[in-house]
Structure formats: structure tokens, C-alpha cells
Homo-oligomer: A and B are copies of this chain.
Amino acid sequence: MPVLSDITSPTLLLDEKICRHNLQVMSEKAKRNGKKLIPHFKTPQSHLVGKWAMEYGIREITVSSIKMAAYFCGQGWDNIHIAFPFNPLETKNLSDLAKNQSLSVQLINEAVTEKLAKELENPVGFFIEIDAGYGRTGVEVSDFGLIEAILRKAKSTDKLKFKGFYLHAGHSYYEKDIQKLYEQTRAALGMLKSKYRSEYPDLITRTGDTPGCSVIEDFGDIDELGPGNFVFYDLMQVALGSCKREDVAVALAVPVVDIKKERKEILIHGGGVHLAKDVLLEPDGGKNFGEVVFLTETGWEIPSQRSFLKSISQEHGIIKASDELLSHIKVGDLLGILPIHSCMTADCMKGYTTINGQKVDHAEG
């Protein structure tokens, strides 16, 4: 990797080959199932990765804030969906942005629907977000009173177009039985579709979490899939069984600043401000903030013996090192760290370097 000799401080490497492979596999899966893939770009937050995605037939994306939507405006997306219960303080920004870009939002209460109905000057689509049952956000699936109140408010304007129902089965991150959880998701969205289809014949349903979209084969009559993390994957997804370590497309290159052989510890410059503080638990209750890979001329290699970050502070990380790693590492070398949660790591680092040394953009906001 010619770029390695230029790296002196923590740098987020992006392997284009792996990232494209992830985009291709998910696109083909969606196509095979007759679903539309609308990836959540809160993970890469990048124009260049967006350009790659377009090469696999992806025409729409999802983001999680108005700022992120603004970042992608003008790149030629058929629609940008803001998958967040709409923040009413951003109504004017939304209306302005919608002048030149097809946008959609999520609504979960009457107050915000009413504000948009009154103040929008340009048309915006909306989904009603359904609470997936793990108590994050959304309208309860059986709360027809609220669903109909939102639809009624929306009808008072021609600026709000109802698109359908969105359900983020985010509890797939905690739930072992993803098949069962998807039966519930399919059932909930299917029930809503048949109830409201007569009035809204073009109504669509969307779900999208990376664990589900990675392992489920039968999505039933759900129309659209919106996973995000799969673009890069990470160790959380490896732990959930969504992917293999070899599918993780980003690694943080970090300098080795000290080695304590007798303790089998390696100190790196790389901590919470680079990786974020997401953590997996080891079988013995210890913490894992990321795993070591060996950087090579063409990317990175998974070591045969596992070494991992057992603790991090703001800028430091301490690796619990295997004998294999200790035997060939020295102070001043670079190592790679596969992140626990790639979305958060990318957001901390605000940019990538490909293994050919190309700089890749990431939204600032």
C-alpha cells in the first residue's frame, strides 16, 4: 500500500473493492427479490461512495438529518429520504431544499404534520414511521387513530404526499431470532398496506436494518429495503452474523507508540475521538473496542491469531496482543483496527483514504 508511508497519524482507510462488493451483493439480493434498495447513507456520508452505489443501480438514498440531505442535493438522486421523525424547527430548510430535490420525511405526530401542512412551499413526500416495538420512535402499529389524524392533517395541503409506512427493525441488533422478528415486521407492514391500500393505491412499505437485510431471504410483500451499515459493515455486524470479517470495508490505520512485551500490550495513537466508544463484550466480560488487522500493499489481512483493543481513552488505545502480533511489530509501525461500529467511526474521522491513496469525502455536519 503505497499510501502507508505517508500516514503519520490515525487515518481511516477505505477498501473500495470490499465496499463495492457489499453494494453489489445487496443490490443483487434486492433485485432477485423484486425489492427496491434505498441504502441509508448515514454510514458512508460520502459523494464518492454515492457514485459507486449508482453504478449498482441505486437511484435513491436515505439520510438522517436535513444537513445530510443538503450534502447530497445536486448529486442526481431520484429522491432523498430523511429517516428521522421530522424536526419541526427545520421546516423552512426542508421547504427550501425541496425546491430542487425530491425529498421525503417521516412523520409520527399531528403537531409536526400540521406545521408542515401550513408552512411547506414545495412538495415533500412522507412516510408514517411505525414503532417496531423496541420503543425508539414511531406510531404504534395499532394506533389507527393517530395514523388517520396524521393522514387527515396531510390532506389539508397539496404539499404533503403520503408515500407509505416505514418500520426500522432496529431491535435486530439485540434479537437473536431475526427470522421471527421479520415475520412480525412483514405482518405489521402487510396489515397496514391492506388496510390503507384502497384509499392510497400507490402506498409502499419499507424496512431496513443491516442484520435483517443481510440474513433474511423472504421479505414478503415489503416493497423497499433501506439498510445502511452494510455498505461498510463492522465487527458488531460480524458478531450478529450479518457478514464476515473479510466484508468490513474500513480500517483505522494507527501508529504503534509503545510495546510492553511482558504484559502483551501495545499502545497505539488511536482512541475514542477516532473510533468512537462502541464496544463488544468478550466472553470473559472484558471489552473489545476494535480488532487488529495487518496492513499490506493491497489492503489488509485478518491475522490468524486475534488481537483487540481492550481499552481506549480520548486518544490512546491499548491492544491485547497475540504472540503472532508481538513477534513482528515494532514501535513506529502502523496497524489497522477494524471498528466495532463503522458509522460512528466514519462520523468521527470525517473522511477516508482509499488503499490507493485517494482522499474520499465525508459530510462535515
Contacts and interface: CB of A to CB of B under 8 A. Distances in A.
A318 to B, nearest CB: 7
Interface stretch (A63-71, A231-239, A300-308, A352-360): A63-71
Contacts of A108: 258
Contact of A344 (B9, B93, B314, B347): B314
Nearest to A108: B258
A276 interface: yes
B277 A90 contact: no
A89 B258 contact: no
Contacts of A269: 65, 84, 87
A87 B9 contact: yes
A187 interface: no
Contacts of A313: 136, 170
Interface in A102-151: 108-109, 111-112, 115, 135-137
A295 interface: no
Given A87-B255, A332-B88, A66 B109 contact: no
Contacts of A331: 88, 109, 111-112
A87 B135 CA distance: 45
Contacts of A343: 314
A330 to B, nearest CB: 7
A84 B343 CA distance: 27
Contact of A267 (B64, B65, B67, B85): B85
A172 to B, nearest CB: 13
Contacts of A278: 277
Contacts of A263: 135
Contact of A9 (B66, B111, B258, B267): B66
Interface string A195-211: 00000000000000000
A25 interface: no
Given A272-B344, A276-B276, A332-B115, A84 B315 contact: yes
A188 interface: no
A255 B89 contact: yes
B272 A316 contact: no
A9 B86 CA distance: 11
Contacts of A267: 85, 137
Contact of A257 (B112, B277, B348): B112
B42 A315 contact: yes
Nearest to A278: B277
Contacts of A318: 135-137
Contact of A258 (B42, B109, B277): B109
A7 B90 CA distance: 9
Contacts of A181: none
Given A42-B314, A89-B334, A314-B343, 5 more contacts: A85-B258, A88-B332, A112-B332, A135-B265, A273-B344
16 contacts: A8-B90, A85-B257, A85-B267, A88-B257, A88-B332, A90-B255, A111-B330, A112-B331, A135-B318, A136-B318, A137-B258, A137-B267, A273-B344, A273-B347, A277-B278, A277-B344
